[in-house]
């Protein structure tokens, strides 16, 4: 029977995990993609330090769209007492659970689920909710933001691709009833890629503008939200404002 580490080496990975024997997991996008994960983890950790302090004991976290678990695993290693990862793809749940087994992190668990079907009744509420790299793969991003708010007790960190926004005024039914645009969405077609490990599960993707995201966070019930500044050496998408990481407070 193969060891857990041999099993990890026989699979393909989105993340470069450092395994306890000093080896790393083989990645299918090449090592360059790790830069986006490293940038996001640094931004996330710095945000957690500022908002929650360094002591994480007693705190819980939920990682929505946990993929193969790298952010949830980092959260568990950074001291959170309980971390749950959720992803729509069972293969990701299996891979993440293998990593948790290799490290013996029994306060880190993974389950399969569609974000649109989650509620506090099933999952409970968490001090920190992560939704990284998911919003722009969804056909109901507003519903997903409502789920984030419902599941969150303190801090929600959302990282997403954004599109250039439209601004201006609309004759909303009549020239006498003019309304300002609060933001906009771009539609991206992933219908031919739903088999992909990072893709949408329906293929219909609504990508928000930054104005739309910030306005919606307030409307779904967060008390405030702030765009996190990327470090100078950030991965290009974050550095050049094609993606943003936002911290929303309950
Ligand atoms: C681009 S990856 C992001 C993974 C990870 N959060 C990160 O930032 O590295 C998108 C992930 O969302 C998952 N996903 C797509 N649609 C979903 C849905 N409706 N509910 C839950 N997970 C979903 C995919 O399986 C995939 O793991």
Q: Are strands 60-64 and 126-132 parallel, antiparallel or unpaired?
A: parallel
DSSP state of 29: S
Token output for 84: 């749950």
State if residue 88 touches ligand 1 by the CB under 6 angstroms criterion: yes
pLDDT at 239: 95
The top-scoring range by mean pLDDT among 1-5, 52-56, 70-74 is: 70-74
Would you say residue 218 has pLDDT above 90? yes
Domains in the chain, CATH or no CATH each: 4-164+215-249 (3.40.50.150)
Distances from the Cα of 4 to the Cα of 9, 106, 114, 250, angstroms: 9, 15, 28, 40
Backbone angles phi, psi at 142, to 5 degrees: -70, -45
Is 243 near ligand 1, meaning CB less than 6 Å away? no
Q: How do beta strands 224-227 and 243-249 pair?
A: antiparallel
What would the pLDDT profile of 197-217 be if each residue is shown by its tens digit? 999 999 999 999 999 999 999
From ligand 1's centre to the CA of 237, what distance in Å?
A: 18
Q: What average pLDDT does range 34-63 have in this prediction? A: 96
The pLDDT tens digits for 66-101 are 999 999 999 999 999 999 999 999 999 999 999 999
Q: What is the pLDDT of residues 163-192, one digit of tens each?
A: 999 999 999 999 999 999 999 999 999 999
| Count of all residues that appear for the chain in the document | 250
Percent above pLDDT 70 for the chain: 100
Residue 1 has pLDDT above 70, yes or no: no
| Band (32; pLDDT cuts 50, 70, 90) | confident
Angle between helices 210-219 and 141-151 (to 10 degrees): 50
Helices (H) and strands (E) in the chain, counts: 8, 11
Tokens of 43: 């931004």
User: Is the CB–ligand 1 distance for residue 89 below 6 Å?
Assistant: yes
137 lines ligand 1 (CB under 6 A): yes
**What pLDDT sits at residue 2?**
80
Instruction: Kindly state the average pLDDT of the residues 142-159.
Output: 98
């Amino acid at each position: 029977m193969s060891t857990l580490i041999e099993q990890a080496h026989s699979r393909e990975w989105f993340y470069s995990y450092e395994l306890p024997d000093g080896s790393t997991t083989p990645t299918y996008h090449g090592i360059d993609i790790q830069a986006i994960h490293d940038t996001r983890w640094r931004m996330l950790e710095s945000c957690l330090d500022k908002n929650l302090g360094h002591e994480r004991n007693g705190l819980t976290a939920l990682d929505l769209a946990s993929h193969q678990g790298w952010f949830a695993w980092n959260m568990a290693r950074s001291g959170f007492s309980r971390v749950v990862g959720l992803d729509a793809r069972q293969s990701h749940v299996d891979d993440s659970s293998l990593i948790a087994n290799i490290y013996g992190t029994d306060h880190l668990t993974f389950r399969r689920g569609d974000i649109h079907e989650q509620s506090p009744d099933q999952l409970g509420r968490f001090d920190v909710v992560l939704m990284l790299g998911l919003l722009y793969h969804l056909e109901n991003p507003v519903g997903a933001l409502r789920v984030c708010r419902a599941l969150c007790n303190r801090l929600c960190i959302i990282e997403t691709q954004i599109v250039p926004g439209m601004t201006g005024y609309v004759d909303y039914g009549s020239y006498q009833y003019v309304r300002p645009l609060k933001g906009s969405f771009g539609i991206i077609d992933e219908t031919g890629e739903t088999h992909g490990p990072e893709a949408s599960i329906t293929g219909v993707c609504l990508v928000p503008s930054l104005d739309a995201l910030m306005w919606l966070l307030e409307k779904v019930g967060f008390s405030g939200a702030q765009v996190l500044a990327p470090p100078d050496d950030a991965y290009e998408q974050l550095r050049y404002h094609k993606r943003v990481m936002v911290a929303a407070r309950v």
